[in-house]
Structure 1
Amino acid sequence: MTDVGIVGAGAGAAAAAFVIDRTVPEADVTVLEKSGGLCGRAATRRHDDLTYDYGANYLKSDDDRVVELITETLDDEGLVEVTEPVYTFDVDGAVSPGRDADEHKWSYRRGLTQIAKRLFGRTDATVHRRTRVETVRRTSAEDAWELDDADGETHGPFDRLLMNPPAPQTTGLLRTAEWDDPLRETLVDAVGGVEYGSVWTAVLRYPFDLDVPYYALVNTDKEHAVGWISREECKAGHVPDGETLLVVQANGAWSTEHYEDDPAGNVAALADHAADIIGDDRLADPAWTDHQGWRYALPEAGVDGGPVDSARDAGLYLLGDWVAGEGRLHAAIANGLDVGERVAYRI
């Protein structure tokens, strides 16, 4: 039997586990996830009668394999599509139509986390949540991998190790890894060179409808403090009729500058910006709010593929949107499918 260890339970990890389980069902897959949830930045929360995607906003149809996976291979029950368009706004807050280039914009009635839940649910993988990996170890005697978690427990040995955290966190684990191989330093340099943008998100609830023709607004000149505003009520099952729930995401510079500021002040500032951009003063006074900061939200470029490819010879695989070079959910899933196929082939 082949033992496969996976660090992180993001969308890419879920896709890789799904492929490995289908292709090599005798493989034993173990996933260690530091948080209590699945699907990484494709995150969903529920509050009373609300469901909202507060990280990634939707899944777009930019990869045929991902489309087939979501609409055919997996159960499409509960899959919902946003039909309203995406408009743009500039540094002055002027709104214009014409950005909506995505053919499909999908979520689920229960939110985007359903992607990872359904993929892992189709496997026999063991998923340990709230298990933070602190040490990665290459065992020379068994030519395998071991993982130590924050509680002092050792997991493994694993014949193959997949690492799905964002590049900065993967860099930290590689830098301290007990692995006596020159490739480790090469990987640290390569993965450590992937830069990330932060995103600070406010979620704003209102007891009224917004009469606007769009699902979302995106700042195309990258000069406004706000980068994105979307309406969760455009996703069936997410928001009660007659209400509005805005997801307002600050741009990278604003998010970095205000990341450690008082959350209430950040929420108020983003609500004011939303009111100005949409042109409705009522939006400055939400009835209920939530928030989340994503320090490592969006990779600004991909990783050097040479060291990543070389690591496979040691049974080490890196995966995620930062490996694909595009900070989008479909890219993370597609990369996970690729990595799962490579692992299965080597097994």
Structure 2
Amino acid sequence: MTATAPIAIIGTGIAGLSAAQALHAAGQQVQLFDKSRGSGGRMASKRSDAGALDLGAQYFTARDRRFVEVVQQWQARGWVAEWTPSLYHFKDGRLSASPDEQVRWVGSPRMSAITRAMLGALPVHFSCRITEVFRGEQHWSLQDAEGQSHGPFSHVVIATPAPQASALLAAAPKLAGAAASVAMEPTWAVALAFAAPLETKVEGCFVQDSPIDWVARNRSKPGRDRLMDTWVVHASSAWSKQHLDMPKEAVIEHLHGAFAELIGCAVPAPAFSLAHRWLYARPASSHQWGALADADLGLYACGDWCLSGRVEGAWLSGQDVARKLLEHLQ
């Protein structure tokens, strides 16, 4: 059965696009909305003077059989490639090699390549921040930050971080309450680009006892340009919380210093740097909701926060929300 009007999907990260693909494949009309200028959410990449930078998700893994199959399809289409970095661990002031058998995947030639390919030709409104979701007698309408109204829609799927989803789920108090109960942690991300390659074997590093949580060498990822030796540094959630409103220049200075202390070689001043604050980087804990649904109302929510907090969790949540919606249409 086909819905009487298009289905609105708010958010074009992995969860929203997973839902959109599944619904479109089932013959449903979808209309996507995103407050950003492009797709990806926390999978987004940023173009810069130092080349494209993966400032959000650095890589992802696949454990669930369904996700493993779809990642293999992405690989066959050239959307993703396996990343095999020289991995290290920094603890108690010591840097040590820390190889493992984990298979890590990255978008190619940047993380946002995955969501761009998933979006394909689906209809989407970018730079459109939805502020209200409201229901008339038969259909849903959306209002954006400019006061424009969009609709009518038969169903609405909200695929944004939990705090933002909670506000948009006001018409379904139980769902709004569930989303409001999810704590999401921030992360400061800093990119540092050096004109000459740093003399270190490190390509990825898990960090403890430092303001930093993770370090990655961008050029070690498949398909990346090598204009400069560019590194992405993620601050820990604890440090990011404590310095949430610190000016970007000060964040860069502080994390550059911490990076120089751990990397094990001489670190000059960067030729290029930038900072980005992810206010809702990851959920503080995992849940087993799959997706939130009020089928009678036609209001749904999905996201990594409904499951594991990982890229795989976001994709699975999108699949789950589409399944629930389609079951109700039958």
| TM-score of the pair, normalised by structure 2 | 0.91
Q: Which residue of structure 2 lines up, in the alignment, with residue 8 of structure 1?
A: 11
Residue identity opposite 2:19 in structure 1: A
Displacement of 1:189 after TM fit? 2.2
1:266-307 Cα distance to aligned partner (Å, 9 max, x none) = 101101111101122325x11111110011111012457399
| CA 1:261–1:276: 2 relative to 1, 3 Å | same
| TM-score of the pair, normalised by structure 1 | 0.87
Q: Which residue of structure 2 lines up, in the alignment, with residue 82 of structure 1?
A: 83
Q: Which residue of structure 2 lines up, in the alignment, with residue 288 of structure 1?
A: 272
Q: Which residue of structure 2 lines up, in the alignment, with residue 59 of structure 1?
A: 60
Q: Which residue of structure 1 lines up, in the alignment, with residue 281 of structure 2?
A: 297
Is this contact kept in 1: 2:200–2:265, CA < 8 A? no
Is this contact kept in 2: 1:15–1:116, CA < 8 A? no
Mapping of residues 169-180 of structure 1, within 5 Å: 169-174=164-169, 177=170, 179=171
Displacement of 1:50 after TM fit? 1.3
Q: Which residue of structure 2 lines up, in the alignment, with residue 147 of structure 1?
A: 142
Residue identity opposite 1:77 in structure 2: G
- Does residue 318 (structure 1) correspond to residue 301 (structure 2)? The answer is yes
Mapping of residues 143-292 of structure 1, within 5 Å: 144-174=139-169, 177=170, 179=171, 184-219=172-207, 221=208, 223-240=209-226, 243-283=228-268, 285-292=269-276
| CA 1:11–1:60: 2 relative to 1, 3 Å | same
Residue identity opposite 2:133 in structure 1: V
Cα RMSD for the two superposed structures: 2.2
Identical columns (%): 29
How many residue pairs were aligned? 326
Displacement of 1:9 after TM fit? 1.0
Structure 2 Cα separation of the partners of residues 75 and 49 of structure 1: 29
Structure 1 Cα separation of the partners of residues 237 and 79 of structure 2: 33
Over 6 Å off, 4+ runs: none
| CA 1:74–1:339: 2 relative to 1, 3 Å | farther
| CA 1:230–1:61: 2 relative to 1, 3 Å | same
Give the counterpart of 1:20 among 16, 20, 23: 23
Is this contact kept in 2: 1:239–1:245, CA < 8 A? no
Is this contact kept in 2: 1:227–1:249, CA < 8 A? yes
| CA 1:41–1:86: 2 relative to 1, 3 Å | same
| CA 1:260–1:277: 2 relative to 1, 3 Å | same
Which residues of structure 1 form unaligned runs of 5+? none
Which residues of structure 2 form unaligned runs of 5+? none
